[in-house]
Amino acid sequence: MAIIEIYDLIMHYLVIIFATNDFAPWIRGVLGGLVIGAVFGGALVMVYLERKFLGDMQSRIGPNRVGGRFGVLQLIADAIKLFTKEDIIPAKADKWLFIGAPIVALTSGFLMVAVIPFDLLVIKGNEYAVAVSRMDISILYLEAVSGLAIFATFMAGWGSSSKYAVLAAFRNVAKMIGYEIPLGITVISVAVMAHSLDIVEIVEAQSSIWFIIAQPLGFVVFFIALLADVGRIPFDQTEAEEELVAGWATEYSGMRWGLAFFAEYLHAVVGSFIVTLIFLGGWNGLPIVGNLYIPGIFWVIAKTIMVMMLFIWIRAALPRYRIDQVIDIGWKVLIPLALLNLVWSTIIGLLWA
Amino acid sequence: MTHEATQITSPTKPSEILLHLGPQHPLQPGPFLLDLKIEGETIREAELKIGYIHKGMEKVFEDRTYLQILPLTDRICYLASNSNNDVYCRGVEELLGIEPTERAKYLRVLTNELCRLQSHLLGIGEYATDVGFLTMFIYMVREREGVVSLLEAITGSRLNHNYARFGGVANDLPPGYKEMALKTLGELKKQVKSHDEMLSSDSIYLRRTKGVGVLTAKEAGELGVAGPPLRAAGVEYDLRRMEPYLVYDDLDFKVITQTDGDVFSRVKVRLLEILESIYIIEQCLDQMPSGPYKQDVTPYITRPKPGEVYARIEDPRGEMGMYIISDGSDKPYRFRIRGPAFATAQALPPLLVGGYVADVAAIAASMDSCTSEVDR
């Protein structure tokens, strides 16, 4: 219990600092840095988990040399390798687009992190969300910012002046147009049911019943659209190795490629957070633990890791769709289902209110 | 569909792109260049350019003695090295007028079928990665390990076996081989059945493969395609049945056919052939007579009488033929290889036209061509 008490103490002080708001700018900056660091770490954890669990599922061992039996330092070794590699910019590339693309991709990921709440603390009757920033429209903000990632892929695809890259960029844009719509509609359904666009409110609305139970169809549509959005199997056509070499990152090398790769995982991690928050009840714990007090942040992280594992599991279990089939599914299946779910959630939401 | 070698035209419309797949590309088992003219994701024209690893094998063979050629036949295609040894030896045996011993015949059938097993397993695995199914690839390679170990136990090497000899084979079975083989093959049978079930029921996989890259029986015949791609089109063409060599007459097996001729059927044929090959191997192990595994006198310097011979075999990939002309010296006067992969490779460009870029990988891998053998 000691750890939990320490955690509570730290959180209380942080919240007091927040609440007084006197030295807010730099403290907020520090806290923002901490959260970004934590999510950065989360992406690293996902890369490691992916290697290890994918290995297990495919009856391989996975990383097992660097840093002991479990290869925990493999990522550091890879990072050193990427940093020491030659940074090649193709002669015919559009230099600024080429350089800018990974930066835009990462920026979009980090901007999303800003509004992700990890917990909600109630101190002296006041509510404080543990987040870098709490917005009234945070769910819409997330949608908008996640759409920025598409610029990164298109900048990279166009700027590389490579046919593979530009084909991948075309695919990505086509896919994104088809899948942002069901994603958006499902998010609206969630907002309708929670009567709020604020993620904190949405999570609080799930204190009695999680939205995965209230609108299972919405969860399925959102999850599939999210898979397509972050470009993981079975929707990883944009980097289908056997067709387009490395997709839009074909011409990248060294750490620039590393950034592009990392941005994808960052999006996957943030995507897992969003699923956790808007469908899996966020920091609302399971009733099975009884009276034992478990901090909300623990639930958020545990559920997020579960969602990540689901991503990895799906990757191990499924082959890849063809791009025309992906577009078909987006427009002909997911959008009607998302609309149906919107109707459903509106009715339920009204009854609930 | 035209069967003349098509020359790709340069793009005229701004929406068309000329895409060079290769000579180095992750999809390829070896270097070749596939030029595609694409409009959006649709392929308008395709042209295959080969010859990047031409080794001049046929000419090299004319400058080697008959025994020196034997290990080189392994290198035509490492996945079919046993079949290549065997068909070469049968050609030379026919020129010399000798027969392998009865036990050697069984041993050759046994190793040939093991060779078919490991080739099919890797072929399906590579194909699975090309539709984005990495897990299946790893499973297939895992299954293949056992088969390769069985081959290693007989021949002493894992890839280039160099096992057949004129009138026999290099060595006999190691002790306790039958038990070892039955155990591994029993496990393999179970695994392959479960993989077949997995591939036949996965909806994404079915959507990727059903009705894609259809090669009809007529087209396959015109292009000289044999083996699994032809049988997938519904033609019961199998040299083991039509022209039984070695001891295939005494063995009971089915010729696996499918009707559609698409990517799915080609892979299905391979999966079912694995089960059939296991059945053949089990029969071989049961029926194998005792006796010498080679002729008493193995001729080291071979001088066949002048004459010519065409020997052919059901390779894992199709029909492998070797045409040898002897002028009575210790080296062949003319040597010609008719490879199955060459035929399947030339069937590739017409299949791609009208399809999607994403189908290139699936179709190419389902034909299971081998660049090393195409160029030889």
Q: What is the pLDDT of residues A223-248, one digit of tens each?
A: 999 988 888 878 887 776 667 777 78
Q: Are B350 and B219 in contact (CB under 8 A)?
A: yes
Residue B130: closest C-alpha in chain A = A242
pLDDT at B1: 45
ipTM entry? 0.79
Do the chains contact at B130 and A242, CB–CB below 8 Å?
yes
Residues 6+ apart with CB under 8 A from B92: B66, B166, B302, B304, B324
Min Cα–Cα distance to chain B from A134, Å: 40
B204, B356, B360, B366: best to mutate for the A interface, most A CBs within 10 A:
B204
Do the chains contact at A324 and B356, CB–CB below 8 Å?
yes
Interface of A with B in 194-233 (CB under 8 A): 233
A54-69 pLDDT, tens digit each: 888 888 888 888 877 7
Tell me if residue B192 falls in helix, strand or coil: helix
Cα dihedral sign, B99-B101-B105-B110: negative
Task: For chain A, report the end-to-end CA distance as a whole number of angstroms.
Answer: 38
A246-273 pLDDT, tens digit each: 778 888 888 888 888 888 888 888 889 8
Which percentage of chain B shows pLDDT scores above 90? 5
Q: Are A300 and B183 in contact (CB under 8 A)?
A: no
Which percentage of chain B shows pLDDT scores above 70? 97
Q: Could you give the domains of chain B?
A: 57-215+280-339+357-375 (1.10.645.10)
pLDDT at B2: 47
* Out of A57, A245, A320, closest to residue B131 by CB: A320
B308-333 pLDDT, tens digit each: 999 988 888 888 889 999 888 888 89
Does the pLDDT at position B191 exceed 70?
yes
Do the chains contact at A318 and B41, CB–CB below 8 Å?
no
B332-350 pLDDT, tens digit each: 898 898 888 888 888 888 8
Collect contacts of B41-45 with beta carbons under 8 A, ≥24 apart.
Answer: B41/A167, B41/A171, B41/A323, B41/A324, B41/B356, B41/B357, B41/B358, B42/B354, B42/B355, B42/B356, B42/B357, B43/B352, B43/B353, B43/B354, B43/B355, B43/B356, B43/B357, B43/B360, B44/B16, B44/B353, B45/B6, B45/B8, B45/B9, B45/B353
* Out of B26, B139, B356, closest to residue A241 by CB: B26
